[in-house]
Amino acid sequence: MTTDSDSILARAARELKDAPAEPRWLDISSSIISKVRSTTRRTWPVDGAFPTSPSARDADTLRISDLVVRTAILRSLQGVRGSQPTDISLYLDDHVCTGLSISVVGVYGSDLQAVGNELAGIAIGIVADVLGIALTRDEVDVRVDDIEV
């Protein structure tokens, strides 16, 4: 940090320290916290496998948020020509991923079957990397919701 930024931080700290306390701070902070809690996303823990699992780890568990898995898949599918992913859903049996669904907007004139197979292949690889489980092509549904001209 430079001397200028140090002086700015020192001045800001001094002003906050010297500022009069807000008498309704408890009411305001409770309101802020309740709004933050109402806007957070709920996620579901999905069972994963340790990348290197020695026999001593049989009793250990690894759970990864479904949001993390879906986001990783969505990011990896962004550059696939002929489609624009719009939704990723995991098929779960309790906490075990048994498959997934990919919804896309297809591009008119594209070979949508080939695009779907490419999307499914990429998603299968990401699920293997993130969760450590192997899905087959039959366990991945690719649905074209719309066609873009």
pLDDT, tens digit, 9 for 90 and up, residues 89-133: 999 999 999 999 999 999 999 999 999 999 999 999 999 999 999
- Give 5's pLDDT tier (boundaries 50, 70, 90): low
Residue ranges of alpha helices (H) inside 19-111 are 25-39, 66-77
Q: For residue range 40-66, list pLDDT tens digits in order.
A: 677 899 999 877 666 665 667 889 999
What's the confidence (pLDDT) of residue 45?
93
Q: Which of 31-47 are b and which e, b meaning 16 or more Cβ less than 10 Å from the residue's Cβ?
A: eeeeeeeeeeeeeeebb
Are the CB atoms for 120 and 137 separated by under 8 Å? yes
